[in-house]
A and B are shown apart, each in its own frame.
Chain A
């Protein structure tokens, strides 16, 4: 999707290892979000950022941390991966709070924890 890139696209990791997912945008949007997508649950917000070094928790933040040292990058870290964190992770960006013009989503990272 134009303007937003997630890396890696796929990852398999072992239980107990730390994992970092990266979201990179070229739109200079202030707001960035990390969601996870699981069957039957839709998308659930993990963490979000409303500016450089400004972040807050979403509804499923336990076991995750984030950092935003530059406008364009928003990192999601699984401190010690568990099988319950096997999921598809999506990053989204927005130029305004509340997604007035809708969010732009990345193509996702499929993470498998074995």
Chain B
């Protein structure tokens, strides 16, 4: 079965500092991984995805994610956090057998303080 885990309910970081939001995955076959962001009272917005290729994936708003096969992780990173990055972040993995099925993590709330 496919699944992702986000071990931290909340991450606090000061503005200007680097941030990391963690995600680990469990999949059959090669993983197809996503990160989404959700601002209050809004739907999720696509940030980036990993299919194959470079382990460092660059996405929207200066975010990037590092794929690590040996650690089965796909952590979201940003070199310098902004207060406006404060939001709920979701990691997701696509089902290996049915491309229409995605499994989302429980979400991590990122708080960036001025």
Contacts and interface: CB of A to CB of B under 8 A. Distances in A.
Interface of A: 1, 4, 31, 33, 35, 40-45, 48, 50, 56, 58-59, 90, 92, 97-99, 101-108
A98 B100 contact: yes
Given A41-B106, A42-B107, A98-B94, A105 B100 contact: no
Interface bin, chain B: 20 to 34
B104 A99 contact: no
Contacts of B107: 42
A90 B44 contact: yes
Contacts of A40: 106
Nearest to B9: A40
Nearest to A44: B104
Contacts of B43: 1, 4, 90, 92, 104-108
A48 B100 contact: yes
B49 A102 contact: yes
Interface of B: 32, 34, 36, 41-46, 49, 90, 92, 94, 99-102, 104-107
Contacts of A31: 100
Contact of A97 (B42, B49, B100, B106): B100
A71 to B, nearest CB: 16
A99 B45 contact: no
A31 B49 CA distance: 19
A107 B32 CA distance: 25
A80 B113 CA distance: 44
Contacts of B102: 45, 99, 103
B86 to A, nearest CB: 18
